[in-house]
Structure 1
Amino acid sequence: PPATATRDGVTHPVHKAAGVDGVAIRLGAQGVSRRYGAVLANRDITLGVAPGEIHAIVGENGAGKSTLMRLLQGLEQPDTGTIIHQDEPIRLRDPQHALGLGIGMVHQEFMLAPDLSLLENFVLGDEPPRGGGGPLALIDWAAARGQGAQMAARAGIEIDWDRRGGAAPVHVRQYVEIFRLLRRGMRTVILDEPTAVLAPQQVDELFVLLRQLRAEGTSIVFISHKLHEVMALADRVTVMRRGAIIASTPVAQTDIDTLTGHIIGDGGVVPHAARTEFGADGDGAPLLSVTGLCAISVDRSHPLFDIDLAVHRGEIVGVAGVSGNGQDELAQCLTGLRAPASGTIGLAGTDLTGKDNAAFRRAGVGFVSPDRGHEGLARSATIGDNVMAASQRAPQYRAGPLIDLRAFGAAARERLARLNVRYGRLADPASSLSGGNQQRVVFAREIASDPRLMVIAQPTRGVDLGGIAAIHGIIRDYARDGGAVLVVSEEIDELIALCHRIVVMAEGRIVGTIDAAEATAEAIGRLMLQTDSGRDVAA
């Protein structure tokens, strides 16, 4: 049996992978740098991923992880240094060249064609020919289905291969992405935040598969913000900060506190504030009251059924669920972006059922979208315009028919300073900001109007450790001042740390409510995979 070591209460294998396939480095970089204008995104990167190794890459947003992955995929070329493959320097011409060498990547945003079946997605671009092949050969769908069934059985999951890609459960899409790379013979698989939308039990199942692949000699690059998962899965962890590698060590020889210090810098730690105490105002009547809410989504795949929900002033209520179980539709109904089919929505005694988004905003509802890049921000517009959007008609910012640019700019700077947004100039595009600062801009704009209720979806998706702490602080401060908060998040640990109560959704229904002070990830995860009748919906 392999040697083991224990860190953070978890036993890890001391994995010795070098020498598999007769090489020490299957994929890596030697002295690689990449510059974009004045920004040095990668600085003298030297990295080696061994055959049969799970190698984690961690770091804050903007640390250079994405740039390095683009170089390792052949999407871009280094300015200096070289990519290493099978112990030899190589120039990766493009991603197709990388695929031909057995290097594939599963992106955080899944790449399946939503209108094709899972089976069609599984073989897309490399369809098995019937008969002898040739340019006019038909696709051998029986062979394709057999290959898919064999891989699914190996991973211990059930897949309806005839289901549309866009309607499949998120964990199934994750597996299909991995399976289609393995089918094409990938020996190095890069996984970008692969557990971001999975329930805890589904994470465990994925890790079983990844360990099997490691045992067979597959190299896995595991990019994650979740350090406890890194400690449980990886053999080696590399920390990047400001475009450079700060540390690279076997997982068995480090711990979460040490990694956090490397990531944040200067030995810093992420501040943790205690959960805000909740006390209802006045007679204790809820600010938000939802009764019997039902809604049909555009493609009818994620309907809502009989949602009853209440949120009080000063209370933070979380909504947990595997992605695609109605959480987004609920947030849209509660902000006037989707009309319910039946039921009622009341805010402080005012009936908002069926009203549009403008009416919800006038009533005091703010909204942080789960998709800041396309909905929460106009990324090509300036930082100033983004943080002041919807305020341009306010009298204090007008000079007759025109905008008072001086007052407008002063207000923008005040809003940004209030939430400690780090930026260059108000005239810079929002796309120039890091993920965490983009999210702070959205919060700054939404909170500026002093809403009574904030509906916040995926508040820290793609945000680094420092940004997460800051955003949680913003939410706690808002609730402490009497605001009501509904937080939709796929991060269970986040909901437990932040909320007072957590409601769990599955198949468009609320299947349970848990006091966050008594909640565990395992208990919430079990509810996430059940319907209200107790039927398992994991597959």
Structure 2
Amino acid sequence: MSAPSVHKAAAIRLTGIDKRFGAVHANRAIDLSVAPGSIHGLLGENGAGKSTLMKILFGMIHADEGRVEIDGTPVAFRSSAEALSAGIGMVQQHFSLIPAFSVVENLIMGRARGSVLSRLTRKLDLKAAAERAQELSDRFGFGIDPLAKVATLSVGARQKVEILKALWGGARTLVLDEPTAALSPPEADELYAVLHRLRSEGTTIVLISHKMPEIMHLCDRVTVLRDGAVVGEAELAGQALDEPAVRQPIEAALVNMMIGRDKPELPERAPLEGPVILDIRGLTDGTRLGPIDLKVHGGEIVAVVGVEGNGQSELVELLMGLRKARDGMIGIDNHNVVDWPTQRRLDAGLAHISEDRHATGVADTMSLIDNASIGFVDGAPFSGSPLSLSQKQRRIFTEVLIEQHKVRTPSPDLPMASLSGGNQQKLVVGRELARAPRLMIAAQPTRGLDIGSTVAVQDALLRLRAEGNAVLLLSLDLNEVFAIADRLVVLRKGRIVGTMQSADFDIDQIGRWMSGAVEHVATKPEETDPQTLEAAS
């Protein structure tokens, strides 16, 4: 890593930043200095105040107290547009692109500049805009076609478009909020190369991330927040981080700063294999998925891995009853549920941690109490009737979830949107675990979670497994898969192209399956159990 310059004014200097949202003290007198042309990491648990601090920098919200300086000049941004004009760009976790538009159309929305206006007509010149976009893409190694529709791009390519959009606006400093949360390992590696290139060109980057390997690989310096305050910093540039004897103590110290204790360990797990709980045979939606065959036993965690967009979402929708199967069977505890509605599947012992909680997991404007109650239409555990839900019992239930899963909030009456993304995820996970499911469909269950919360969710899935239940885990994080899965299958172009037991996990072979570098592997369907599944009524 190149050491940041000490002779220039700080690219960003925040002094005494303080921000409250009612009873929540989000930022507590924070001081932060970011050297120009460096990658500065921002670490902290969910709710530690990282995103709030960066939104203050970007003009999205205003600090109650404190001072912001850009390149040594005091500023007081009243909007994100003013921050962009001053050379600050921010790429948030949730993309703001319009899928039906081309890349260049997304870039120029509200950002037309003189260089893309026709000299004769002063109208937008799409050709000139596309040429400028191609120059930017080529300069930083993005590999993006400006004329491609965003809907056709992979998640990794869309992340690059978001960064390109900030650069198009003239950003010299980029704030990236969990940029690899939705990326596969190969896509993350491509993004790392882009960030290294940006730094070498003089761009300053602030990286919010929960991934310790990412921080150690990319950052020159890191600042750690806990409970809204700075609790420590570490210089990473110039350290021999490739050597475990150097890297491991630094990682341990950062984790301790972040969560106030050493990294918790997952429990040991004994090999288990109970009866088949999930039995998929010849399942296809007739378009993007299948046919596939897959069994998951009680006492087993089976992971589905692959580059995003290869049928994972379609598989979950078929299992949850949100997409109609053209052919095939879905067995849950010896019942063929392929034609059952979603609620009946939930009643039969299915639970679902949604990959996109905003689309299918929560209602942002409703209270935490209302969100904790979603899906319990039979009244349990709140009352004996769906028509007479006890508000008192719903509140108690929500408060228990908040305490058990360490959801940071001053009140269960607040809207879901008041929580950080990680705290929203913790409430969703707690709600789904409260169903005491026989089969848990866990799609990216730890995306956006800090280290402590990630281990807590993984531990909960292992407890389900130890109780003889089944877990189907869909994850882009191979470290997570290696930590808790008993078996994995690789999904590519809607088909299972490889399967591997935990004792044989081989990241190189998995990567070849995921990328299509080897021929399609026709996995042999598992033997059909002798019992006959009950037909759906």
Identify the match of residue 279 of structure 1 among 265, 272, 278: 272
Residue in 2 aligned with 1:257? Answer: 252
Say whether 1:402 aligns with 2:395. Answer: no
Residue in 2 aligned with 1:497? Answer: 483
> How far apart, in 1, do the equivalents of 2:123 and 2:143 lie?
27
* 1:183-213: CA deviation from partner (whole Å, max 9, x where unpaired): 3332101111111122223222222221222
Say whether 1:446 aligns with 2:432. Answer: yes
Q: Which amino acid aligns with 1:16?
A: P
Say whether 1:61 aligns with 2:46. Answer: yes
SS of structure 2 residue aligned to 1:229 = helix
> How far apart, in 1, do the equivalents of 2:413 and 2:421 lie?
18
* 1:459-501: CA deviation from partner (whole Å, max 9, x where unpaired): 1121111111111111110110011010112222111111111
SS of structure 1 residue aligned to 2:147 = coil
SS of structure 1 residue aligned to 2:47 = coil
Residue in 2 aligned with 1:162? Answer: 147
> Residues 179 and 338 of structure 1: is their aligned pair in 2 closer, same or farther, counting only changes over 3 Å?
same
Residue in 2 aligned with 1:290? Answer: 280
Any conservation in 2 of the 1:200–1:521 contact (CA below 8 Å)? no
1:28 positional shift: 2.2
Give % identity: 38
Residue in 2 aligned with 1:326? Answer: 311
- 1:219-258 alignment to 2 at 5 Å? 219-252=204-237, 255-258=250-253
> Residues 377 and 15 of structure 1: is their aligned pair in 2 closer, same or farther, counting only changes over 3 Å?
same
Unaligned runs of 5+ in 1: 1-12
> Residues 122 and 406 of structure 1: is their aligned pair in 2 closer, same or farther, counting only changes over 3 Å?
closer
Residue in 1 aligned with 2:354? Answer: 369
> Higher mean Cα deviation, 379-388 or 159-168?
379-388
Say whether 1:17 aligns with 2:5. Answer: yes
* 1:224-274: CA deviation from partner (whole Å, max 9, x where unpaired): 000111111110101011111111221146711110000001xx1221214
1:453 positional shift: 0.8
1:32 positional shift: 1.4
> Residues 93 and 241 of structure 1: is their aligned pair in 2 closer, same or farther, counting only changes over 3 Å?
same
* 1:405-458: CA deviation from partner (whole Å, max 9, x where unpaired): 555555556666665666655545445555455434333433334321111111
> Higher mean Cα deviation, 231-240 or 36-45?
36-45
> Higher mean Cα deviation, 105-114 or 135-144?
135-144
> Higher mean Cα deviation, 467-476 or 134-143?
134-143
> Higher mean Cα deviation, 208-217 or 223-232?
208-217
> Residues 148 and 510 of structure 1: is their aligned pair in 2 closer, same or farther, counting only changes over 3 Å?
farther
Identify the match of residue 483 of structure 1 among 422, 445, 469: 469
> Residues 165 and 239 of structure 1: is their aligned pair in 2 closer, same or farther, counting only changes over 3 Å?
same
The normalised TM-score by structure 1 is 0.86
Residue in 1 aligned with 2:532? Answer: none
> How far apart, in 1, do the equivalents of 2:115 and 2:155 lie?
31
> How far apart, in 2, do the equivalents of 1:88 and 1:407 lie?
54
Residue in 2 aligned with 1:356? Answer: 341
> Higher mean Cα deviation, 489-498 or 397-406?
397-406
1:46 positional shift: 1.3
SS of structure 1 residue aligned to 2:320 = coil
SS of structure 2 residue aligned to 1:513 = strand
SS of structure 1 residue aligned to 2:263 = coil
Say whether 1:468 aligns with 2:458. Answer: no
Q: Which amino acid aligns with 1:508?
A: G
> How far apart, in 2, do the equivalents of 1:218 and 1:130 lie?
22
- 1:516-535 alignment to 2 at 5 Å? 516-530=502-516, 533=519
> How far apart, in 2, do the equivalents of 1:88 and 1:449 lie?
54
**Aligned residues between the structures:** 510
SS of structure 1 residue aligned to 2:291 = strand
Any conservation in 2 of the 1:105–1:189 contact (CA below 8 Å)? yes
SS of structure 1 residue aligned to 2:160 = helix
Say whether 1:509 aligns with 2:516. Answer: no
1:277 positional shift: 3.0
Q: Which amino acid aligns with 1:44?
A: A
> How far apart, in 2, do the equivalents of 1:182 and 1:417 lie?
42
> How far apart, in 2, do the equivalents of 1:131 and 1:52 lie?
28
> Residues 402 and 345 of structure 1: is their aligned pair in 2 closer, same or farther, counting only changes over 3 Å?
closer
RMSD: 2.8
Any conservation in 1 of the 2:281–2:293 contact (CA below 8 Å)? yes
Say whether 1:80 aligns with 2:76. Answer: no
Any conservation in 2 of the 1:129–1:140 contact (CA below 8 Å)? no
The normalised TM-score by structure 2 is 0.87
